[in-house]
């Protein structure tokens, strides 16, 4: 992403393209983190999050101990990929 102090500077096109390419995944992670953390501040351990979940973000959440699963019936009409997800940090039951 382009640093705040450089927002008013005309940057080389190559640098702007690179920032734009990386911004989507960074903003997606910020969105998920904000949703999770705000919910935690209200006593919730589960959240519903709407958006495209990349394999990288899903893996990162799982490595951090979250359970990640699609909400039933949430597949986009034009895709098999769910757009609504449940993230949970509830303790996993012993099997």
User: Could you report the per-residue pLDDT of 81-94, keeping only the tens digit for each?
Assistant: 668 889 998 876 55
| 82 DSSP 8-state letter | B
| 75 DSSP 8-state letter | B
Instruction: Give the global pTM.
Output: 0.73
Percent of the chain with pLDDT over 70: 85
Q: Which helix (H) or strand (E) holds 21?
A: helix 13-40
Over 5-20, what HEC string results?
A: HHCCCCCCHHHHHHHH
Neighbours of 68 (CB within 10 A): 17
Nearest to residue 91, comparing CAs of 67, 68, 72? 67
What pairs with residue 86 in β-bridges?
48, 69
pLDDT of residue 48: 94
pLDDT of residue 60: 95
């Amino acid at each position: 992403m382009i640093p705040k102090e450089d927002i008013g500077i005309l940057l080389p096109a190559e640098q702007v393209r690179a920032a734009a390419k990386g911004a989507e995944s960074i903003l997606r992670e910020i969105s998920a983190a904000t949703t999770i953390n705000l919910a935690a501040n209200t006593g919730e351990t589960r959240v519903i999050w709407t958006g495209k979940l990349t394999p990288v973000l899903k893996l990162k959440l799982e490595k951090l101990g979250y359970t990640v699963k699609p909400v039933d019936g949430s597949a986009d009409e034009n895709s098999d990929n769910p757009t609504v997800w449940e993230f949970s940090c509830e303790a996993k039951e012993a099997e």
